[in-house]
Amino acid sequence: MLLGREPKDFDVATDARPEEVRKLFRNCRLIGRRFRLAHVHFGREIIEVATFRAGVGVADAGEAGTDRVIENGMILRDNVFGTIEEDAWRRDFTVNALYYNIQDFSVVDYTGGVADLKAGVLRLIGDPEVRYREDPVRLLRAVRFAAKLGFRIEPRTEAPMRRLGRLLADVPPARLFEEVLKLLLGGCAVATYELLCHYDLFRYLFPETEEALSREEEGYPHVFVLRALENTDLRLAEDKPVTPAFLFAALLWEPLRARVQRLQETEGMTALQACQLAGREVLSAAQQHVVLPRRFAIQSREIWQLQPRLERVPSKRALRLLEHPRFRAAYDFLLLRAEAGEAVAEAAEWWTQLQETPDEAERAALCQGAAAGRRRRRRRRRSRKPQQQEA
């Protein structure tokens, strides 16, 4: 609000304990063991209510349900409650430690957050090394806030970021999935991706993608991921839906392509067979770092497996393929591949023409023409084969 932007939601901080909040609201549900929170439901709206927590240096009071567990500097559980000022100083960034007092509509600032907000500075509260070790996800939050708000990261906050990226390996992959969605589905995916690469953090989220992108193809860098992220930002700006399945299919496309090519060359598989096996392998490897829920993983694989079918300008089956539940996503994926310079422009153009042809008879004629053309190409290949063998 201080930046003149519309908040996406409102959270509440209070001295009431979670159990007390639940007594006040019948529509309340307590969640989380790491951080005990109350979710108060109003229809489809959820108000997250957090109890003020004490600083990390404050000892456990010993009350039931109020405990803190720290291992190798990382906070694994923190339910030691305190005052509003203690709560402010244990938060991550100064600009994220501001409280809006709804009694008199004032902003309460204990950490200098308002000054940093005016200066466009992202500053960690306390010793950056200690704070990153307490919760390595703060590395990703620094990138997200810097990209989203256009802020510069304060030098002391920035200094250990590249060196401590390895700590992300200790974060549960399921939690990293939620962070990736916040990073890349916030409307500034391109800027976020560039900062992730700048601070050498992307490789801890998608190591196989990082490795694939580091190798140029025929002297040209891979640009598909960047095009996909640009498309994501554009769709969000136009209030169009974006699914995690499409995003992850794009982020893992380059390692998938490499595996497909290898399986075709070494195992003699068809493009579809190789795509099916490579899809399972790539997703299995990715799950070690960022867990993609099963329902999205299935959709990502379907988008990939439709690519070989779309690449072959088809015949009678084309109209049936249009009815596939994942056709539209797979078609959009094909268009992005064409834009990125892959040799699928002809197929992308044909599918576009088919969809833009409203008359069923014309559609059927288009499919028949494609089928006839494919038969001619097969005959030409067969007629050339004996000559090559004789030579």
Per residue in 146-161, pLDDT (tens digit) is 999 999 999 999 999 9
Which of 164-173, 314-323, 367-376 has the weakest average pLDDT? Answer: 367-376
CA pair distance 106, 114, nearest whole angstrom: 12
Identify the weakest region by mean pLDDT among 7-16, 50-59, 161-170, 289-298: 50-59
DSSP helix/strand/coil, 300: helix
Could you give the C-alpha distances from 161 to 73, 142, 180, 290, 322, in angstroms and in order?
A: 16, 9, 17, 20, 47
Contacts of 286 (CB under 8 A, 6+ apart): 206, 208, 248, 252, 292
Q: Are 34 and 76 in contact (CB under 8 A)?
A: yes
Our measurement of the distance from residue 366's CA atom to the centroid of its chain's CA atoms, rounded to an integer in Å, reads: 38
Q: Does the pLDDT value for residue 93 go beyond 80?
A: yes
- Which of 348, 242, 344 lies closest to 299 in space, CA to CA? 242
pLDDT at 56: 64
Among 106, 94, 93, 62, which residue's Cα sits nearest to residue 80?
62
Residue-level pLDDT at 61: 42
Q: What is the pLDDT of residues 61-90, one digit of tens each?
A: 444 344 655 665 665 556 788 899 999 998
Q: What DSSP character marks residue 93?
A: B
Please give the average per-residue pLDDT across 222-232, as a whole number: 93
Q: Which architecture characterizes domain 1-90 according to CATH? A: 2-Layer Sandwich (3.30)
Share of the chain above pLDDT 90, in %: 69
- Which amino acid is present at 53? R
Does residue 303 sit in helix, strand or coil? helix
Distances (CA, A) of 367 to 189, 273, 378: 38, 25, 17
Rounded (10°) CA dihedral 306, 309, 310, 313:
-170
Q: Is the per-residue pLDDT at 221 higher than 80?
A: no
CA distances from 334 to 104, 218, 265 (A): 55, 21, 23
pLDDT tens per residue across span 247-282: 999 999 999 999 999 999 999 999 999 999 999 999
Average pLDDT of the segment spanning 112-129: 96
Question: How confident is the model over 37-59, as pLDDT tens digits?
Answer: 999 999 889 999 999 988 765 44
**Residue from 328, 295, 293, 334 nearest 313 by CA:** 334
Residues 13-41, mean pLDDT to the nearest whole number:
90
Q: What percent of the chain has pLDDT over 70?
A: 86
Average pLDDT (224-242) is 94
- Strands 45-51 and 37-42, bridge-based pairing: antiparallel
Tell me the β-bridge partners of 30.
Answer: 38
Assign domain 206-356 to its CATH superfamily: cca-adding enzyme, domain 2 (1.10.3090.10)
**Which residue out of 11, 15, 127, 170 is catalytically annotated?**
11
Residue 9 annotated in active site: yes
**Whether 124 contacts 110, CB under 8 Å:** no
Amino acid at 221: P
Which sequence spans correspond to the domains of the chain?
1-90, 206-356
Is residue 127 among the annotated active site residues?
no
* Of 370, 387, 369, 250, residue with least CA distance to 307: 250
pLDDT in tens, 304-336: 999 999 988 666 678 888 889 999 999 999 999
Task: Render 162-229 in DSSP notation, one character per residue.
Answer: HHHGGGGGGS-HHHHHHHHHHHHSSS-HHHHHHHHHHTT-HHHH-HHHHHHHTS-BTTB---HHHHHH
Classified as helix, coil or strand, 42 is: strand
Which residues make Cβ contacts (< 8 Å) with residue 144, sequence separation at least 6?
A: 182, 183, 186, 192
* Residue 87 known to be catalytic: no
92, 116, 135, 233: which is the annotated catalytic residue? 92
